[in-house]
Amino acid sequence: MDHQLLDQCPISKLMLLPNEILQNVVSLLTQPDLLTLTLTSKLFYKLSTRILYSKIYLNDSIIEYSDVYELASSWSWLRLQPSSSNEDSRKEANYKLECLLRSLKQDQALVNNIIEVRLNWDLDIQLQKNFVDFLTNSSRSLKIIENVTDPELNEAIVSSNYKSNLISLDLPPPNPLPSLEITDDYLPNAQSYMIRRLTPNIKVLTLFIDPLLLFNNLIRPKKILEIETLKLHCRADTYPGILYNRRHWKYNKLSEIFDSRYLKVLTIISWYDHICPDRIYKFDQWAEFPNLEDITLIAVTYNDKKISNLINNCRQLKRLKLDFSFPKRAMAKNSLVYKSIFTHKDHLKFLDIKLNLTNRIVNLDVRQFTIVFKVPCKCSLCQETVLKGIFEGKILPNPEDYKIDTMETFEKLDYFDQLFDSSLSPYSKAVDRYPSVKTGPDNIEDFLHRFNQVNMERSPNFIPLVEQDFYDLYHCLIHSLKMDVEPFLTHFKELKFLVVNDISLIIQEDETTGMRYPVPVFYNKGFKTNFDVTKSGTNQFEVDSEVYGRSLYLN
């Protein structure tokens, strides 16, 4: 009888597969499914925990899930409860990290499954030091420790049993903020640490200091570095004068330090809150690395000529994230940077950019000082449900409410600007590869409560919005992006993920026609595209292409 039941059990057929194939099958499961699978048998416990513990992401707030795609499926993270404050969330995360460390100390087999760990700026440093100390002394499989942000962690790594197995090296900054005074022992300790850690085995490098200053005045590599992944934080730390001495410089160019044949991934993160000259970012020098396949620029000063030159000089760019701070955050479609992206239309699989959008839904007529709603998509959702039902039926149901007296009133009515300013859109370095972390305690209910509260105070005619209104408005916003995203769907045949102004989209194909269309990664419940997925070549729902000029509308 037991054998008959076993034969009827679907999981028993899986167990007949070779372990290599079975491991690949199991690797496709979600984190909750893997946890469930650990309870089924010893074999599946072993296979599941091998994946669950391979890459650990220490988050300090909840991770956002998607209904249309399994995001960052190779990572495991701390499962946290929604919290009313970031501080409460961090307390829970620290507690969960303590529990994780305790579990690992009780099971050496789990420890040897860990390959990569990403630490967190905001979690308890001493607790993370204990975590790193234990892993580097106990895990034979550990290869990468990412996001090391405190010099105290250096001690745990450099004196460990398995430090030679690590292929990553992070040189932490002297302080959390660049404005703080640097202690006298920072540079000597950093020099000692780099001498002991910078070996040919290192392939992943993170620096918080200009590489030319570091490798000319603090440590000289024995040969050119074969780094494959480089993350550079540009900060205004004020170091002792010895670090700025150019008298005995050996290297004048980055290509003399890093072998241009090997560097594939470059991330530059700016900490400056003002416009910076190119000598800070060295875009011209990075343009000498033609084998770059993945470029991320975060909060850097916009330089149309130099950044476009960097992009153009790449032979086969597959991933690109551009985030500018000064003098402008979004790029124009006639800019050199925008045009340079199209030189990689045959290769790009991931693109994250900020654009000057063609259409804006909530506008201000500056001559009449009245609100103007311009919903460009002509589908029934946008015209009937959103324009007539929400904007005209709930937000401004009375004609006299369209006339406003202050900019403050306009800001109360500008639903989408408030949406962009909220923490509803989770942050990820790359939405497909890293977990998407909520940056604040916002949820749909809280966001709508704030919007409803200020508008009920503004006008007694206002009708409060409900959750379904949120989804309808969000999907209308996606529809309004059609003219901005269509060129990428048309020309970038390999593109899988497109992030425009922090709105994450996954590119899907119609099963029948093969036509491609964007779907929001988050808040996609009930979403229907306004892209034509037939082979007729005509758009089912046209989008108004009129660009609203500043002479009439304040965009």
Percent of the chain residues topping a pLDDT of 70: 94
pLDDT of residue 28: 81
Say if strands 436-437 and 63-64 run parallel, antiparallel, or are unpaired: antiparallel
Say if strands 294-300 and 265-270 run parallel, antiparallel, or are unpaired: parallel
In a domain, residue 452? The reply is yes
DSSP secondary structure code for residue 263 in this structure? -
Question: At residue 554, does pLDDT exceed 70?
Answer: no
Q: Which of 126, 165, 120 has the alpha carbon at shortest distance from 146?
A: 120
Which neighbouring-strand residues pair with 91?
Answer: none
pLDDT of residue 551: 31
Domain end point (choices 477, 509, 534): 477
Domain end point (choices 477, 499, 525): 477
Domain end point (choices 107, 130, 159): 159
In a domain, residue 48? The reply is no
Starting at the edge strand that comes first in sequence, how are the strands of the sheet with 76-77 ordered? Answer: 76-77, 55-57, 116-118, 144-146
Q: Which residue has the higher pLDDT, 69 or 539?
A: 69
Residue 95 domain boundaries: 55-159
Question: At residue 63, does pLDDT exceed 90?
Answer: yes
User: DSSP readout, 128-158?
Assistant: HHHHHHHHHHH-SS--EEE----THHHHHHH
Q: How many helices (H) and strands (E) does the chain have?
A: 21, 19
User: How many whole angstroms separate alpha carbon 80 and alpha carbon 64?
Assistant: 11
The burial class, CB within 10 Å (0-12 / 13-18 / 19+), for 367 is exposed
- Amino acid sitting at position 159: S
Q: Which residue has the higher pLDDT, 27 or 522?
A: 522
**What is the tally of structural domains in the chain?**
2
In a domain, residue 335? The reply is no
In a domain, residue 417? The reply is yes
User: pLDDT band at residue 542, thresholds of 50, 70 and 90?
Assistant: low
Q: Which of 118, 300, 320, 112 has the alpha carbon at shortest distance from 204?
A: 118
Question: At residue 209, does pLDDT exceed 70?
Answer: yes
User: How many whole angstroms separate alpha carbon 351 and alpha carbon 296?
Assistant: 10
User: pLDDT band at residue 245, thresholds of 50, 70 and 90?
Assistant: confident
Which neighbouring-strand residues pair with 355?
Answer: 331
* Residue 401 phi, psi dihedral angles, 5° rounding: -75, -15
For the chain, the average pLDDT equals 91
Cis peptide bond N-terminal to 290, omega within 30 = no
pLDDT of residue 333: 93
Q: Which of 417, 422, 464 has the alpha carbon at shortest distance from 444?
A: 422
- Give the pLDDT confidence of 435-479 residue by residue, as tens digits: 999 888 789 999 999 999 999 999 999 999 999 999 999 999 999
In a domain, residue 83? The reply is yes
Residue 352: Cβ within 10 Å count: 22
In a domain, residue 516? The reply is no
* Residue 371 phi, psi dihedral angles, 5° rounding: -80, 135
- 154 Cβ contact list (under 8 Å, min separation 6): 148, 172, 189, 193
pLDDT of residue 550: 32
Q: Tokens 């000529």 correspond to what residue?
A: 305
* Residue 418 phi, psi dihedral angles, 5° rounding: -65, -35
pLDDT of residue 505: 97
In a domain, residue 468? The reply is yes
In a domain, residue 323? The reply is no
Classify each residue of 149-165 as buried b or exposed e, where b means 16 or more C-beta atoms within 10 Å of its C-beta. bbbebbebbbebebbee
* Residue 46 phi, psi dihedral angles, 5° rounding: -65, -45
Question: At residue 224, does pLDDT exceed 60?
Answer: yes
Question: At residue 85, does pLDDT exceed 90?
Answer: no
